[in-house]
Amino acid sequence: MSELIVVRVYDIIGGPLGVSADDGQRVYDKIAPLLDEGKMVSLSFEQVETMISSFLNAAIGQLYGKFPEDRIRELLSVRDMDDADLPVLKRVVENAKVYFRDPERFKKAIEETGDDEE
């Protein structure tokens, strides 16, 4: 078993607000290589006061496009997250799992509903 690496979201995004997809991407860019190497990662949300789904989609959701669900469950843990943010994280994870099971279906649905107006 590898040593647990604590990654502090606050340190990566430089403040208490997890509200941009760009900041989420920086978190992803930090943790994805560690998971790729088989390292155990604990993602700490200590001092992070506000998070929105687009941030969490970029930070955590896109992991499901790169790694199998069981590998994420085995290697990644989340801590110090406010109880009010846990349902948002759960929804992001569930949506990511569904999306990455069949991304073409979602792309097709968006195409069918989006660009017919000119």
Strands 50-51 and 40-44 turn out to be unpaired
Quick: pLDDT tens for 12-25.
Answer: 999 999 999 999 99
Query: What is the residue extent of each domain of the chain?
Result: 4-114
Structure tokens at 64: 């499901």
DSSP assignment of 52-72 equals -HHHHIIIIITHHHHS-HHHH
Q: What is the 3-state secondary structure (H, E, C) of 11-56?
A: HHHCCCEECCHHHHHHHHHHHHHHHHCCCEEEEECCCCCEECHHHH
| Average pLDDT of the residues in 63-92 | 96
pLDDT of 1 > 60? The answer is: no
CA dist 45 and 96 (Å) reads 20
**Percent of the chain beyond pLDDT 90?**
80
CA dist 49 and 61 (Å) reads 20
CA dist 26 and 44 (Å) reads 14
